[in-house]
Amino acid sequence: MASSSDSWMREYNEALKLSEDINGMISERSKSAVTGPDAQRRASAIRRKITIFSIRLESLQSLLAKLHGKPISEKEMNRRKDMIGNLRSQANQMVNALNMSNLANRDSLLGSEIKPDNTMSQLEQDEGLEKLEETVMSTKHIALAVNEELGLQTRLIDDLDYHVYVTDSRLRRVQKNLAVMNKNMRSGCSCMSMLLSVLGIVGLAVVIYLLVKYL
């Protein structure tokens, strides 16, 4: 079974490959002479991949935080933090490169014979994509919060199972003591022994009641 550290490296390698794909798409778009709707579609595809890349970075950061305190050296932890930082820098460079490419494409459109209405339509599409990106990021944060809440509920259930197990063990001991007392009483034990036994039963009953009440 792969360790948490191995899972983190697998996630990192996938994010790194995605960044290389995005940079390749941006470079190809910059070199291409395609304009108009085709250029817009390419920009939209790049923007979607950048959004996915940002989500992967957040996931890497979350996984790294969970590795804190586990069998991993401080040096390795700092190295992985730097790796995430480098990917974040790449993400910012991708956004800047895409924005510059969009700006160049708009300038080309304005300098051509394309109608202004078409240009405004493309600008509105860009704004719509930006709003979509914000929605995706918001949904991602909600998903992370739900994941943390599920983790907390799982730990609480584990704790409850443990306390139930402890309480059951104590109940079994009480039942054994009752059996012994019952046997002694049938054998004609002294009044003092009976009194001590009754007091013991009452004491155990109080302990069990408190355990059940406050668990």
What confidence tens digit (pLDDT) does each residue in 26-83 have? Answer: 888 878 766 777 778 888 899 999 999 999 999 999 988 888 667 788 899 999 999 9
pTM over 0.85: no
The model's confidence at residue 14, banded by pLDDT at 50, 70 and 90, is very high
CA distance 81 to 186: 72
First-to-last C-alpha distance (Å) of the chain: 35
What interhelical angle do 116-186 and 37-67 show, nearest 10?
A: 30
Interior CA angle at 129 toward 107 and 56, to 5°? 115
Q: What mean pLDDT, rounded, does the chain reach?
A: 76
Residue percentage of the chain with pLDDT more than 70:
62
Where does 7-111+127-186 sit in CATH, by number?
A: 1.20.58
What interhelical angle do 37-67 and 4-31 show, nearest 10?
A: 160
Q: Is the dihedral of CA 192, 196, 198, 199 positive or negative?
A: positive
- The model's pLDDT over 180-214, given as tens digits with 9 standing for 90+, comes to 777 766 665 555 666 666 677 777 777 676 766 66
The model's confidence at residue 108, banded by pLDDT at 50, 70 and 90, is low
Q: What is the dihedral of CA 102, 103, 105, 108, to 10 degrees?
A: 170
Q: Where are the domains of the chain?
A: 7-111+127-186
Per-residue pLDDT, averaged over 94-119, amounts to 62
The owner of tokens 């600008």 is: 123
Per-residue pLDDT, averaged over 99-112, amounts to 61
pLDDT at 115: 45
